[in-house]
């Protein structure tokens, strides 16, 4: 699946990006396809391949699918597309189908059909979540991003690239990180954010540059030279042209200098703008000491002048190169320069100088061939002698080293195993005894704690029942109401111990669940027909210990009860209450608001409810305040500073 990343590294199909880069990539794909064995690809061949690879492990399946994809991708789209479709349809193994979907997606992107590719890549991505590795999912996300970039759908592309970036970090692979940054550069270039595009293109290069002789190095250098040329950044264009020239000369030193593919990047049209750009590059290259870049630009500019019938101008451009190259041993480049000067002088009817430089080319060529042959023979002889002697010495040293290593290793392993076995045996015995004791102690304490909560709950229930019986035998309505309020306070504590008894978690109460249950019970015991109060709760789920939740529950009981008793007149109809409880910073905030008639200016500080709330707030190191609402009603705010949050 990794091949999807590289085959999909195509520039954005927009007006800002030259079609030339895309042509170069198609050329690379064509070269790869040419390496496959010429063989007729048809449905029968695909059937035989499926039967063959389905018997092997995943790595062999990948290898077989790679071979098949190279052959299919070398065909014209009109022939390849139905064969890819047939492969996907006949692949019964989900793993093979996943790879085939990725191959077809990559092929369609490479053939300017990203809209068709997206559907196949999405199906492949779904399969990769169960069938593939993280590398497969990464490749699908990058391929989808590139397909969306082709369609100028930057937001969708960025979404996939962000996912791929997190995977690249997890993979810790240079190729993965560079691929994501490169695709992000393309995405930002497609929306003309050239500052961001430059940042990500350079990140991709810096990542790839960490690996010496990386196979993608030439590709990235091509892209960067072309990108900075189109951007008009002469300095960066010169720097990467120099790097590209050095890279290519090391990879293929036998290819004549003028055949370097860098020529495909440069525009040789005879426009005033183009000529000025070449002059700027030559000037900057000269100041930076970038001889390769200066050489390329001077040669291309001289070609323009020669085509325009201005050989004298061509000679003036090439002359400074003689001085620059005289101080170096770059004979290959000197040959190219002298050849071009010979042509320029001949076009200028200066046959004497034309012959002079032609002879200089001939002398250099003879020297290079002679020296090269002698050097190669001498190097081969030296390498053979050294290789023979080194092999003999290495064999002797390896034999001794292996013997010593085996003896030493056996002794050390036996010693370590003996010590480890003795220590581990004693330690395991002790740990087993401690674990058994701890488990018995914890189980015993849990049983006791659960039984304690059960008994406390039963005791509170008895108190609540006694209060209820007392209220039933009283004639005084105020006394009856006071007992009912006391019963509600007891109920709030009963609810806490009931929840602790009924759950495995014996040390904490979930605030959201507790507030909902407590509020419902309070409203059920107070509301009468025709006097309903609609309430809403916004409670953050937290786990508080019993010492924190008990006073908060009692205060909430008092606040709700006060609203139900005092906030509304008899004929009020649209009655609303809102309760919220959240953690803000290092505090817990409880708010109870209503749309009633509001609190009086002077609150009775000696009432039992107010005294109780203040006492409980003091225990929590909390502040309790009442405010008028913006329209009607009252807002009560409790800010708790002391609490124990368990989760």
DSSP assigned state of 56: S
Residue 279 binned pLDDT confidence (cut-offs 50, 70, 90): confident
| pLDDT of 591 over the 90 cut | yes
Q: Given a cut of 60, is residue 360 above it in pLDDT?
A: yes
Residues 11 and 108 grouped into a single domain: yes
Do residue 308 and residue 200 come from a single domain? no
- Can you tell me whether residue 146 is helix, strand or coil? helix
Tell me which of 133-137, 236-240, 447-451 is least confident.
447-451
Position 52 scores a pLDDT of 84
pLDDT band at 287 (very low <50, low <70, confident <90, very high): confident
pLDDT, average across residues 413-429: 83
Position 537 scores a pLDDT of: 94
Domain span holding position 323:
232-349
Give 190-230 as a 3 state SS string: HCCCHHHHHHHHHHHHHHHCCCCCCCCHHHHHHHHHHHHHH
The whole-number pLDDT of residue 2 equals 35
Inform me whether the pLDDT recorded for 28 exceeds 50.
Answer: no
- What was the pLDDT predicted at 202? 92
Same-domain status, 207 and 236: no
From residue 452, give the alpha-carbon distance in Å to each of 20, 459, 500: 82, 10, 10
Query: Which pLDDT value is given to residue 324?
Result: 79
pLDDT in tens, 155-210: 888 889 889 888 888 888 888 888 888 888 888 887 778 899 899 999 989 888 88
Residues 76 and 277: their CA atoms lie apart, in Å, by: 39
Return the pLDDT at 264: 45
Give the per-residue pLDDT at 32. Answer: 41
Query: What is the count of structural domains for the chain?
Result: 3
pLDDT of residue 386: 66
State whether 242 and 185 are in the same domain: no
Residues 6+ apart with CB under 8 A from 385: none
Residue-wise pLDDT tens digits, 288-304: 766 767 777 788 888 88
43/100 same-domain check: yes
Does 458 reside within a domain?
A: no
| 467 in any annotated domain | no
Higher pLDDT, 127 or 22: 127
pLDDT band at 371 (very low <50, low <70, confident <90, very high): low
Check: CB of residue 84 under 8 Å from CB of residue 104. Answer: yes
In a domain, 463, yes or no: no
For residues 160 and 24, membership in a common domain is answered with yes
Whether residue 151 sits in one domain with residue 44: yes
The answer to the question of residue 498 being in a domain is no
Same domain? For 238 and 149 the reply is no
Does the pLDDT at position 373 exceed 60?
Answer: no
Give the whole-angstrom CA distance, residue 536 versus residue 534: 7
Residue 347 has pLDDT above 70, yes or no: yes
Confidence at residue 568, expressed as pLDDT on a 0 to 100 scale:
84
To the nearest whole percent, how much of the chain has pLDDT over 70? 74
Over range 120-143, report the average pLDDT. Answer: 89
Q: Based on the fold, state whether residues 152 and 272 are members of the same structural domain.
A: no
Within-domain flag for 249:
yes
The predicted-structure confidence for 492-507, as pLDDT tens digits, reads as follows: 666 666 766 565 555 6
Q: What is the pLDDT of residue 55?
A: 75
Q: Which CATH number is 173's domain given?
A: 1.25.40.10
The pLDDT assigned to 5 comes to: 37
Nearest alpha carbon to residue 7 among 228, 22, 17, 163: 22
Q: 622 falls in which pLDDT band (50, 70, 90)? A: very high
Highest mean pLDDT, choosing among 145-154, 434-443, 455-464? 145-154
Burial of residue 604, with CB atoms counted within 10 A of its CB: 0-12 exposed, 13-18 middle, 19 or more buried:
exposed
Last residue of a domain, one of 152, 180, 211: 211
Q: Quick check: is 450 in a domain?
A: no
Position 567 pLDDT exceeds 60: yes
Domain shared by 197 and 262, yes or no: no
How high does pLDDT run on average in the chain? 77
pLDDT digits (tens, 9 = 90+) for 226-240: 788 778 888 888 888
Same structural domain, 11 and 58:
yes
Is the residue at 374 inside a domain? no
Q: Does residue 25 have a pLDDT over 50? A: no
* pLDDT, tens only, 42-51: 888 888 888 8
Instruction: Answer whether residue 23 is part of any domain.
Output: yes
**Residue at a domain's end among 349, 371, 406:** 349
Q: What is the mean pLDDT of residues 312-334?
A: 80
Task: Give me the pLDDT at residue 422, please.
Answer: 83
Q: Is the pLDDT of residue 34 over 50?
A: no
In the chain the first and final C-alpha atoms are separated, in Å, by: 43
Between CA 459 and CA 606 the distance in angstroms is 29
Please indicate, yes or no, whether residues 191 and 245 belong to a single structural domain of this protein.
no
* Distance from C-alpha of 200 to C-alpha of 214, rounded to nearest angstrom: 19
Confidence grade of residue 21 (pLDDT, cut at 50, 70, 90)? very low
Mean pLDDT on 590-595: 92
Looking at residue 18, what is its pLDDT? 40
Kindly indicate the confidence band of residue 266, based on its pLDDT and cuts at 50, 70 and 90: low
Query: pLDDT band for position 272 (50/70/90)?
Result: confident
Band of pLDDT at residue 22, cut at 50, 70 and 90: very low
211, 243, 263: which is the final residue of a domain? 211
Model pLDDT, residue 119: 92
> Domain holding 258: CATH number?
1.25.40
Q: What is the pLDDT of residue 592?
A: 94
Q: Which residues of 95-129 are buried (b: 16+ CB within 10 A; e: fewer)?
A: bbbbbbbbbbbbbbbbbebbebbbebbebbbebbe
For the ranges 18-27, 114-123, 381-390, 592-601, the maximum mean pLDDT occurs at 114-123
pLDDT tier for residue 102 given thresholds of 50, 70 and 90:
very high
Q: Among 17, 8, 232, which residue's Cα sits nearest to residue 118?
A: 8
Furthest CA-CA distance within the chain: 136
Q: Give yes or no for a contact between 519 and 577, defined as CB atoms under 8 angstroms apart.
A: no
Is-contact 499 454, C-beta < 8 A? no
């Amino acid at each position: 699946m990794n091949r999807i990343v590289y085959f999909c590294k195509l520039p954005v199909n927009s007006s800002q990006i030259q079609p030339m880069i895309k042509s170069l990539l198609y050329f690379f794909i064509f070269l790869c396809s040419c390496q496959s064995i010429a063989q007729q690809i048809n449905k029968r061949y695909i059937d035989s391949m499926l039967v063959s690879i389905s018997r092997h492990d995943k790595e062999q399946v990948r290898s077989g699918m790679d071979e098949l994809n190279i052959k299919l991708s070398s065909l014209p789209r009109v022939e390849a597309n139905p064969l890819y479709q047939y492969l996907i349809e006949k692949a019964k193994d989900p793993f093979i189908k996943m790879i085939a979907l990725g191959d077809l997606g990559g092929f369609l992107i490479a053939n300017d059909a990203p809209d068709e590719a997206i559907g196949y890549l999405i199906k492949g991505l779904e399969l990769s979540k169960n069938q593939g590795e993280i590398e497969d999912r990464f490749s699908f996300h990058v391929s989808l991003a590139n397909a969306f970039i082709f369609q100028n759908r930057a937001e969708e592309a960025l979404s996939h690239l962000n996912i791929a970036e997190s995977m690249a970090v997890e993979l810790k692979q240079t190729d993965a990180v560079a691929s994501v940054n490169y695709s992000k550069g393309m995405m930002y270039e497609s929306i003309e954010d050239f500052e961001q595009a430059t940042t990500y293109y350079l990140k991709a290069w810096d990542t790839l540059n960490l690996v010496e002789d990386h196979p993608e190095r030439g590709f990235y250098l091509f892209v960067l030279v072309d990108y900075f040329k189109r951007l008009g950044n002469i300095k960066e264009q010169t720097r990467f042209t120099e790097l590209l020239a050095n890279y290519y000369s090391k990879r293929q030193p036998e290819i004549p200098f003028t055949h370097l593919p860098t020529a495909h990047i440069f525009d040789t049209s005879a426009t005033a703008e183009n000529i000025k750009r070449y002059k700027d590059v030559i000037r900057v290259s000269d100041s930076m000491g970038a001889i390769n870049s200066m050489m390329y630009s001077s040669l291309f500019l001289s070609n323009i002048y020669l085509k325009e019938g201005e050989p004298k101008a061509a000679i003036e451009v090439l002359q400074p190169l003689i001085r620059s190259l005289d101080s170096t041993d770059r004979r290959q480049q000197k040959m190219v320069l002298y050849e071009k000067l010979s042509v320029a002088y001949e076009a200028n009817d200066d046959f004497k100088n034309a012959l002079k430089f032609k002879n200089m080319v001939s002398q250099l060529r003879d020297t290079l061939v002679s020296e090269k042959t002698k050097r190669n023979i001498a190097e081969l002889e030296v390498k053979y002698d050294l290789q023979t002697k080194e092999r003999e010495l290495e064999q002797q040293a390896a034999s001794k080293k292996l013997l010593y290593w085996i003896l030493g290793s056996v002794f050390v392993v036996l010693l370590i195993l003996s010590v480890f076995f003795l220590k581990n045996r004693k330690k395991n015995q002790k740990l087993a005894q401690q674990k058994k004791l701890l488990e018995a102690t914890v189980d015993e304490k849990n049983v006791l704690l659960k039984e304690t909560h059960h008994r406390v709950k039963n005791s509170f229930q008895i108190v609540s029942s006694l209060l209820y019986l007392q209220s039933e035998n009283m004639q005084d309505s105020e006394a009856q109401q006071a007992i009912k309020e006391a019963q509600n306070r007891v109920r709030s504590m009963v609810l806490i111990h009931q929840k602790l008894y009924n759950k495995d978690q014996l040390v904490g109460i979930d605030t959201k669940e507790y507030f909902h249950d407590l509020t419902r019970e309070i409203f059920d015991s107070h509301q009468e027909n025709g006097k309903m109060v609609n309430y809403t709760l916004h409670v953050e789920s937290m786990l508080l210990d019993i010492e924190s939740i008990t006073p908060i529950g009692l205060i909430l009981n008092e606040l709700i009860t006060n609203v139900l008793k005092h906030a509304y007149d008899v004929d009020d109809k649209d009655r609303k209450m809102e309760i919220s409880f959240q953690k803000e910073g290092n505090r817990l905030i409880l708010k109870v608001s209503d749309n009633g008639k509001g609190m009086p200016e002077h609150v009775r500080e000696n009432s039992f409810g107010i005294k109780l709330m203040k006492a409980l707030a003091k225990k929590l190191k909390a502040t309790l305040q009442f405010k008028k609402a913006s329209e009607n009603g009252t807002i009560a705010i409790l800010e708790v500073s002391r609490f124990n949050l368990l989760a």
